Amino acid sequence: MTIAHHENRNQVTCDTCPASYPNTYAADDWSAMIADAKVAGWSIRKTMPAALDRDTSDLFGAAPRMAGSDKPQTHIHTCPDCAKAQQKGPLL
């Protein structure tokens, strides 16, 4: 989960590590939460849309099971430390 919801408060959490932006915001302050996190160095960007053709009937003869699948995430949230590591790239 990238946005944690608890007792009518929201908090940005990193998708690659357990870090979270320290401030919490009311649901009405969504744009302020995103703006503050970006100012603090967080990377928040849109993800690529999921493939629309998820049908496996040609392989298995039936439509895929959709029950229990997670709602696709529309944005990726990365803390400043993980963002720096991604910019540097792998060691080799």
- For the chain, how many structural domains are there in total? 1
Residue 8, in any domain of the structure: yes
How much is the mean pLDDT over the chain?
Answer: 78
Residue 63, in any domain of the structure: no
Residue 61, in any domain of the structure: no
Structure confidence at residue 76 (pLDDT): 82
Rounded to two decimals, the pTM is 0.63
* Residues 67-75: contacts with CB under 8 Å, at least 24 apart: 72/47, 73/2, 73/15, 73/47, 74/46, 74/47, 75/2, 75/44, 75/45, 75/46, 75/47
Q: What is the pLDDT of residues 49-75, one digit of tens each?
A: 655 556 566 666 666 555 555 666 778
**Residue 66: phi, psi to the nearest 5?**
-105, -15
Residue 31, in any domain of the structure: yes
